[in-house]
Amino acid sequence: MNSIGNPLPAPAVSIPHIVAPKEVPAVQVAIVTHDRHARAYRTRALLDRLTARGVRWVLLSPDRTILEMRQGTLRFLDGAGRVVTPDVVLNALYLASGYGLEVIEGFEAAGIPVVNSAAGWRKAKTKALASVAFCVHGVAHPETVCSLGVPPALGAVAHATLGPPLVYKPWRGTMGAGVTLLTRPRSVYVAMARLARRGAPVYLQRFVPNPGRDIRVMVVGGEAIGATYRLARRGRWKTNITAGGIPAPCPVTPELAAIALAATASVGLDIAGVDVIEGPQGYQILEINAWPNYERFDQVAGVDVADRIAQLLIARAQKAAADQAEAEVAAADG
């Protein structure tokens, strides 16, 4: 597949496509992603919606993007050496390592609008940083203890602050991989010893009693556009869809929207998948995802996530163009 602007076959999604307006100002979107062959549903669906709206797009793989600095000018080239001049950039990176974030920071330095900033992405991907943001901004969040190492007092602090039962999560990670429920005091200390031997950072969170489900809220451009329940299978506690969780429709109540938007704003994201738990104290934020997978979500929630993202990208590009034109007029009048 040519990575520059060619239409893709429509993804298998039951939600009807939005008909593109007849007059669409020329906009080019650069999508920086690890999915350079557009194999993932979220990539294919977005390219389909951008094409339907008359938007030119280019897929940029971070390891095949060239940053050229010459005579005070910063340029971006794709792997074939073609200059890329996007009106807006979508940060669609998803690897937990953050590989490629430097490319996003380069676009930011050049003054090009970026949807999901490098700083916001890094906070969302690093669970400890997201927890810090929730804490200092007053977003309801389970008690959490974390450390880059395993100092002698960590086990005692975790036991006193969190429980058990408590949940161990990898410092970075997605789809529930490596998440472990620790139900006994001894299991906490055994886990600490194992992590100390590995030299791994520690992220521990109080287990929140719940009705066997959590909620995924999709936020795009400052709006909670839809939500789904994620139901744990019988005998299991994980709700991640990749771990066997079952999606079901969930209404977006004002209270649910408010906490999802507060979490998104605290981290500094434009697009987010926000995981919310219903506990004895009400809604609490478990974590936040900077480039959420919305396969099946759109069908269950009844919302075209890809098209909402496309609309956001177009709006950001048009705003940047309007701001630039206004600045040029002001400079000419000055």
Most confident residue range from 167-171, 256-260, 318-322 = 256-260
Mean confidence (pLDDT) of the chain: 86
Say how far apart CA 334 and CA 12 lie, in whole Å.
54
Mean pLDDT over 12-37 rounds to: 66
Confidence check: pLDDT of 47 > 70: yes
- In the chain, the domains with their CATH numbers are 28-116+306-328 (3.40.50.20), 143-206 (3.30.1490.20), 213-290 (3.30.470.20)
The pLDDT value given to residue 64: 94
Mean pLDDT over 152-174 rounds to: 76
| HEC per residue, the chain | CCCECCCCCCCCCCCCCCCCCCCCCCCEEEEEECCCCCCCHHHHHHHHHHHHCCCEEEEECHHHCEEEEECCEEEEECCCCCEECCCEEEEECCCCCCCCHHHHHHHHHCCCCEECCHHHHHHHHEHHHHHHHHHHCCCCCCCEEEECCCCCCHHHHHHHHHCCCEEECCCECCCCCCCEEECCHHHHHHHHHHHHHHCCCEEEEECCCCCCEEEEEEEECCEEEEEEEEECCCCCCCCCHHHCCEEEECCCCHHHHHHHHHHHHHHCCCEEEEEEEEECCEEEEEEEECCCCCCCHHHHHCCCHHHHHHHHHHHHHHHHHHHHHHHHHHHHHC
The pLDDT value given to residue 168: 84
Mean pLDDT over 164-168 rounds to: 83
Mean pLDDT over 44-58 rounds to: 97
Which of 99-103, 126-130, 148-152 has the lowest average pLDDT? 148-152
The pLDDT value given to residue 17: 40
Say how far apart CA 4 and CA 85 lie, in whole Å.
12
Cβ distance 159 to 307 under 8 Å?
A: no
Residue 334 confidence class, pLDDT cut points 50, 70, 90: low
Most confident residue range from 176-180, 198-202, 245-249, 327-331 = 245-249
Please report, as a single letter, which amino acid is at residue 324: Q
Task: Count other Cβ atoms within 10 Å, centred on residue 52.
Answer: 17
Residue 165 confidence class, pLDDT cut points 50, 70, 90: confident
Which of 178-192, 239-253, 282-296 has the lowest average pLDDT? 178-192
The pLDDT value given to residue 25: 59
Over the stretch 76-115, which tens digit does the pLDDT of each residue have? 999 999 999 999 999 999 987 778 999 999 999 999 999 9
Say how far apart CA 231 and CA 216 lie, in whole Å.
11
Residue 243 confidence class, pLDDT cut points 50, 70, 90: low
Q: Which of residues 206 and 185 earns the better pLDDT score?
A: 206
Please report, as a single letter, which amino acid is at residue 197: R
Mean pLDDT over 36-43 rounds to: 95
Cβ distance 58 to 30 under 8 Å?
A: yes
Residue 237 confidence class, pLDDT cut points 50, 70, 90: low
Q: Which of residues 173 and 229 earns the better pLDDT score?
A: 229
Dihedral over alpha carbons 310, 45, 251, 120 (to 10 degrees): -60
For the chain, percent of residues with pLDDT exceeding 70: 86
Cβ distance 58 to 4 under 8 Å?
A: yes
For the chain, percent of residues with pLDDT exceeding 90: 60
Q: Which of residues 133 and 212 earns the better pLDDT score?
A: 133
Q: Which of residues 31 and 15 earns the better pLDDT score?
A: 31
Confidence check: pLDDT of 269 > 90: yes
Confidence check: pLDDT of 180 > 60: yes
pTM score of the predicted model: 0.86
